[in-house]
Amino acid sequence: MTEASPVTVAVTGAAGQIGYALLFRIASGAMLGPDTRVRLRLLEVPSAVRAAEGTALELSDCAFALLDSVDVTDSPATAFDGAEVALLVGARPRGAGMERAELLEANAGIFGPQGRAINDNAADGVRVLVVGNPANTNALIAAASAPDVPRERFTAMTRLDHNRAVAQLAAKLGCAVTDVDGVTIWGNHSASQYPDLTNATAGGQPVPSLVGQDWIESEFIPRVARRGAEIIDVRGASSAASAASAAIDHVRDWVRGTPDRWTSAGVASDGSYGVPEGLVSSFPVRSVDGRWEVVQGLPVPEFSRERIDASVAELAAERDAVRELGLLG
């Protein structure tokens, strides 16, 4: 990405909760840095275009120095035209009585066409982050619909889970979040995910001996894995500002590089750690030269193996369900 010309950033679901918390931070430079101007493209369904236009008016009223332009459209081809970053936030929520297969199919109807539009219109080096749930499988569907775009460019967001895990651990230990290192989220962005502290340190000390296995199993893992449901219960709506903040973190680190510690992201598996090739699974990752690399060689004790396998089995079942529906091409 050149610093001189604006970077085109497409955001879907722009009139939604996360969109409202995300767009102003992108425009302020929090995602691509203080020297990079941004050209925003907001994609919405026709019935929400007017609301997105209202958000565009507010973006204008902020007089952001880095904001080059804002366009609102209901056309994926227009939204992704020349896009270097695509944040796929808009998704179909689960309705009352809706089966999982129906949810997958409804979302395939969104992420298949958007993947094709990215394939046909986006910039060569496009980076895609899928936030809309079920994020991992939506990323798989979008990637399958974009055969000309390398798979590694389609990622799913598990950074919110990662940030939740770091925050929970820091609160338990009474330390700063910046003292925590080596936390990993494995698998699916769902309650089956495995927040792993095996290799975590706090202030350089191994975390498992500081907190004990009992706390990890009975409090930490369920707390992090079910935090999305806790937010819905307490707030009365699903996480929005924290999800937007995690999306900013994911793209910032992808583009600008991870600083001195690894993070977690849903990336297409290359078979590492026994995760079947092609599944979009969360791994420990570093961003090196603008590409996510899975951190290799970490010990995986039996307890971790079982939990990684369980979440990966859920991802494989989701993949099989969308394949049976003929949605993977």
Kindly list the catalytic residues. Answer: 189
Cα–Cα distance for residue pair 284/270, rounded to 1 Å: 13
Residues for the chain: how many in total?
Answer: 329
Cα–Cα distance for residue pair 182/297, rounded to 1 Å: 13
> Among ligand NAD, ligand LMR, none, what binds residue 131 when CB lies within 5 to 8 Å by partner kind?
ligand NAD
State the nearest-atom distance from the C-beta of 120 to ligand NAD, in Å: 16
Three-state DSSP class for residue 96: coil
Cα–Cα distance for residue pair 34/1, rounded to 1 Å: 14
Max CA distance (Å), the chain: 55
Residue 29 assigned as binding residue:
no
> Among ligand LMR, ligand NAD, none, what binds residue 231 when CB lies within 5 to 8 Å by partner kind?
ligand LMR
239 binds ligand NAD (CB under 6 A): yes
> Which residue lies nearer to ligand NAD by CB, 19 or 284?
19
Residues that bind ligand LMR (CB under 6 A): 133, 160, 228, 231, 238-239
Tokens of 226: 């079910």
Which residue from 11, 38, 70, 89 is in contact with ligand NAD, where contact means CB under 6 A?
89
Residue 119 assigned as binding residue:
no
Q: Which helix (H) or strand (E) holds 243?
A: helix 241-256
16 binds ligand NAD (CB under 6 A): yes
55 binds ligand NAD (CB under 6 A): no
Tokens of 221: 């893992």
Cα–Cα distance for residue pair 32/256, rounded to 1 Å: 8
> Which residue lies nearer to ligand NAD by CB, 133 or 199?
133
State the nearest-atom distance from the C-beta of 18 to ligand NAD, in Å: 3
> Among ligand NAD, ligand LMR, none, what binds residue 90 when CB lies within 5 to 8 Å by partner kind?
ligand NAD
Cα–Cα distance for residue pair 17/192, rounded to 1 Å: 25
Tokens of 275: 């995760």
- SS3 percent helix, strand, coil of the chain, rounded to 5, is 45, 20, 35
Cα–Cα distance for residue pair 53/15, rounded to 1 Å: 8
238 binds ligand NAD (CB under 6 A): yes
Three-state DSSP class for residue 6: coil
Tokens of 20: 């409202």
15 binds ligand NAD (CB under 6 A): yes
Nearest Cα neighbor of 192 from 316, 280, 313, 323 is 313
Q: Which stretch binds ligand NAD (CB under 6 A): 84-92, 170-178, 257-265, 274-282?
A: 84-92
Residue 14 assigned as binding residue:
yes
Residue 25 assigned as binding residue:
no
48 binds ligand NAD (CB under 6 A): yes
Buried b (16+ CB within 10 A) or exposed e, 110-139: bbbebbbbbbebbbeebbbbbbbbbbbbbb
Residue 18 assigned as binding residue:
yes
103 binds ligand NAD (CB under 6 A): no
Residue 90 assigned as binding residue:
no
Residue 191 assigned as binding residue:
no
183 binds ligand NAD (CB under 6 A): no
State the nearest-atom distance from the C-beta of 106 to ligand NAD, in Å: 9
Interface residue list for ligand NAD (CB under 6 A): 12-13, 15-19, 43-45, 48, 89-91, 93, 110, 131-133, 135, 157, 160, 189, 238-240, 243
**Which residues does the annotation place in the binding site for NAD(+)?**
13-19, 107, 114, 131-133
- Binding residues for substrate, as ranges, are 94, 100, 133, 164
